[in-house]
Structure 1
Amino acid sequence: MFLQKGMLIVLSGPSGVGKGTVCSLLRHEQPDIIYSVSATTRKPRAGEENGVNYFFKSREEFEKMIKEDQLLEWAEYVGNYYGTPRGFVEQTVQTGKDIILEIEVQGALKVKEKYPEGIFIFLMPPSLAELKNRIIHRGTESDESLMNRLNAARNELQMMKHYDYAVVNDEVSKAVKRIQAIIEAERLRKERILPYYEQWLKEEL
């Protein structure tokens, strides 16, 4: 029996689209998928825990990680750094487990440069008006920050063309089912399975 390499699943989309909520339900439904915790310099929101939701870092700490090449990707978004510690991601994939990255669009495109074989899923809002409502209901943004995020969202929506799949987050449970269907189909791609059959065919019976 050959160990099939795990898949790198990247879920991203505009701020406020519900990436965290969708990813949490997906992890509940499929606990075998490993979640990669990102590092960030933004302040924790209510209820967020260091090492669970994010690794919260100072700008000095984060810039040291950049300098020492400890990040698979990193980006500066609306005044804060976000990045993915690379060691855990690479180890997980090599041991045959799937890992999901929930990251911003800039970071996802950087990951694609290094892992073009990854599965890139763009989470969309039903509309820009709905996206605005979701951000407002967070109660965490000033008027200026809200406008910055909406302007950034317009630009990010144009980046959808670089992804493999687009999933509308109209209802969280429905969005999760769509992502599960994508993951199952990707696991069955002949390109992932063929190398292992070719090895079996070389064995003597």
Structure 2
Amino acid sequence: MHSMPNPSPAPRRRARALAALLGATLACLAAPQAAWAHAGHAGPLVRFVSTKHALKAMLPRGAKIVRRKQELSEEARRWAKERFGVELPGGLHTFFLARDRASGRVLGGALVREEHYRHGSARVAVGLDDRLRLTGLGLLGVSKKYTIDFEALGKGLFRGFEGLAPEALPERLEARFGHGSLPARKLVGWLKQDAALLAALLHQVEGSR
């Protein structure tokens, strides 16, 4: 009686390889879907104050306002590090620049940014004049799911910071909002960072003239 030959291992290897490839493909497809699901859970951004209203409040009346994209230079980053003690991100930044219509002189600027918060986002704004003094700052909006997180901190433009130098902002922010809760820590961090970033961008604009 003849024994049957063992089946070739090649088909089994091909089957295992195909199964592994299929598993990897399904994992890749599932990952972005999971991320989208998390982002969707936060809901749309609930707007407390429009960007247009915030700019009108923070920038000089009658000035020419332009939306500008600018790469932050190494010199401006060093300047900010020495003056504010913060490490600013390089790359391209978008901000609003106010100029005198007749002379073209810089009168101030404003920064409106979307910041990441949990699985959603928050929109914050900071304005500075030509002396790098605050003209306003605030929380313009938050993803719907997290509006309750910021209830105790306030919404819209915050009063009482006008005329303040960015160097003095951290202490005033912590006195106003504290730093015990996650929303407070995030808000204070965003506003401190964005005030320093805007100051560095305006410093760079003035230095390039």
TM-score bin (small chain): under 0.3
Larger radius of gyration: 2
> TM-score, length-normalised on structure 1?
0.25
Structure showing greater relative contact order (alpha-carbon pairs closer than 8 Å, 6 or more residues apart): 1
Structure number having the greater strand percentage: 2
